[in-house]
Structure 1
Amino acid sequence: MLKKRKLGRNISEITVGEKLVVNQKIEDRDLLLYLGLTDDANPLYIQYDYASQTPLKRPIVPAIMLTGIITSAISKYLPGPGSHITKQEIRFLQPVYHYENLQFTFEVTNVDHENHFIDIKVEALRNEAEPVLEGMISVCPPYALSKLNVSVLENF
């Protein structure tokens, strides 16, 4: 027997001002998985000898990894499974270094029922104080299905 899986919240359940906070520590394992998956050989991401000779002084986290944390939080929590990003604008204010603790804050700033999307403001802070990124994300929340049962979501 397959277990029924839960979709995220539909647009009628989301209100302006809602917030979500996600804490993330960037570990070597995460960086190595990214580099292996993408075959990205940028020495600035992993080579301490190279990075130490740049103004950054040590390896940084690829911007796309930070974007992945944002995407994951939207897919898992706000609005959750079944949602997808339709537009994103992210400014990377400061480099993020290996092993740093980041706090991502997401806030719903607009709910457009007619066009079925929400806007979410996102920011990430290093050590709960220093901004490292900010952005706006437009998201299509999951659609309310007329009948949600096991057969609909067999492979979910």
Structure 2
Amino acid sequence: IQVGDQASLTKTITDEDVINFAKLTGDVNPIHILDSFAKTTMFKERIAHGMLVSSFISTILGTKLPGKNTIYLSQNVSFRAPVKIGDTLRVVAEVIKKRDDKKIITLQTNIYNQSGDIVVEGTATILKKE
């Protein structure tokens, strides 16, 4: 693994994803689950949970870059734009720093919608075990 290495994945957010996440976490904020409520908000329709969207960063780190034997140490995220049901997301991780002595890797972690807008941006720090 070298600085500049990248990996990505694509995911379309479904109604089922949002409902299942609400059930799993207990986050039943009506902006996520009630069309009638969401229509009264600035978004005019339901939006996905920010942490649901961000969870796909974990997917890419654990399955693609660096992949298996990754231990997640930290993640910071900034939510830049809402994600709506039906949005297709591209999750991108890029190695920006590597400490060989401790096997610690820092990655830029951005999520883009189908228009190319950043919806989530942040950095992750992981430990790569052999």
Structure 1-normalised TM-score?
Answer: 0.79
Conserved? CA contact 1:103–1:128, under 8 Å: no
Shift of 1:58: 0.7
Give the match for residue 67 of structure 1: 54
Q: Tell me, yes or no, if structure 1 residue 116 matches structure 2 residue 103.
A: yes
Shift of 1:108: 0.4
Shift of 1:93: 0.3
Conserved? CA contact 2:48–2:82, under 8 Å: yes
Conserved? CA contact 2:60–2:91, under 8 Å: no
SS at 1:53 equivalent: coil
Give the match for residue 92 of structure 1: 79
Conserved? CA contact 2:78–2:120, under 8 Å: yes
Conserved? CA contact 1:102–1:128, under 8 Å: no
Shift of 1:39: 2.1
Give the match for residue 79 of structure 1: 66
Between the aligned partners of 2:111 and 2:124, the Cα distance in structure 1 is 14
Listed as ranges, the gaps of 5+ residues in structure 2 are: none
Conserved? CA contact 2:8–2:60, under 8 Å: no
Q: Deviations over 1:41-65 (max 9, x none)?
A: 2101011100110111111110110
* Moved >4 Å (runs of 4+): none
Conserved? CA contact 1:101–1:127, under 8 Å: yes
Between the aligned partners of 1:85 and 1:129, the Cα distance in structure 2 is 27
How many residues are matched?
130
Between the aligned partners of 1:135 and 1:93, the Cα distance in structure 2 is 10
Q: Say if 1:78 and 1:128 are closer, same or farther in 2 by CA, change over 3 A.
A: farther
Structure 2-normalised TM-score?
Answer: 0.94
SS at 1:31 equivalent: helix
Identity %: 24
